[in-house]
Amino acid sequence: MDCVYCEKPLECDACREPYSPKGLAEYQALSRPEVPVICPGCGSVLVCHWCKMPYNSQEDGDEPGKNEFYIGFV
Ligand SMILES: [Zn+2]
Ligand SMILES: [Zn+2]
């Protein structure tokens, strides 16, 4: 699985686990910035080790429930 931003092999910056999506939903989440991707190894939001791009919501604001809204919306 390559990083969608820098196209290097995607590794979690926190634990250095290579990330591979378990299924189609996880795979699609990688290209959808509104869907946060959680590293299965350490449980934190996946951040590319190479380019440091976080795979979480690009929206500013941290209102609780906002991400859940977007997950259900599309
Ligand atoms: Zn990257
Ligand atoms: Zn990790």
More confident residue, 30 or 43: 43
Distance CA 53, CA 24 (A): 21
User: Distance from the CA of 10 to the center of ligand 1, in angstroms?
Assistant: 6
Distance CA 25, CA 59 (A): 20
**pLDDT tens-digit readout, 3-29:** 999 999 999 999 999 999 989 988 898
Range of the domain at 7: 1-74
Number of domains observed in the structure of the chain: 1
Nearest ligand to the C-alpha of residue 19? 2
What pLDDT sits at residue 72? 56
Cβ-based neighbours of 37, under 8 Å, separated by 6 or more: 19, 26, 29, 30, 45, 46, 55, 56
Could you tell me the pLDDT band of residue 69, with boundaries at 50, 70 and 90? Answer: low
Confidence of residue 44 (pLDDT cuts 50, 70, 90): very high
| Cα 50 to ligand 1 centre (Å) | 5
